[in-house]
Amino acid sequence: MTTYETVLEALADGTRRRILERLARGPASVADLAAGLPVSRPAVSQHLRVLLHAGLVGYDEQGTKNIYRLERAGFDLLRSWLDRFWGDVLDRFEAYANKQEGT
């Protein structure tokens, strides 16, 4: 089961973030992804396995190639975790603003 910790660990690596940024423009093969990065195809494949495990990417088989794409599940999990904090911040700001108006 993927957790927000798994997603955060996957996003901690700069190369994996660059892969996600590239996939945000559209699906791509390992070769396409490696062409824009200073790492080898096997290294890109290893990074993609981490992203797959985190639910951030998926793939479709096309002949002998896998075409990778972004997956919503991992991003939704992270967003839900972050939204908890954002809601708390907004609630505290509202309480502070109301207190200031009452002063």
User: pLDDT digit string (tens) for 51-98?
Assistant: 999 999 999 999 999 999 999 999 999 999 888 887 787 888 888 888
pLDDT, one tens digit per residue, over 72-81 is 999 999 999 8
Q: Model confidence over 23-54: pLDDT tens digits?
A: 999 999 999 999 989 999 999 999 999 999 99
What confidence tier does 103 reach under pLDDT thresholds 50, 70, 90?
Answer: low
Q: Where are the domains of the chain?
A: 4-102
pLDDT above 70: percentage of residues in the chain: 99
H, E, C per residue of 32-94: HHHHCCCCCHHHHHHHHHHHHHCCCEEEEEECCEEEEEECHHHHHHHHHHHHHHHHHHHHHHH
Crossing angle between the packed helical segments 4-11 and 72-102, to the nearest 10 degrees: 100
- How far lies 21's CA from each of 55, 60, 64, in Å? 15, 19, 24
Beta-bridge partner residues of 70: 57
pLDDT for the residue numbered 83: 87
Q: Do residues 17 and 54 touch, judged by C-beta distance below 8 A?
A: no
The domain 4-102: what is its CATH number? Answer: 1.10.10.10
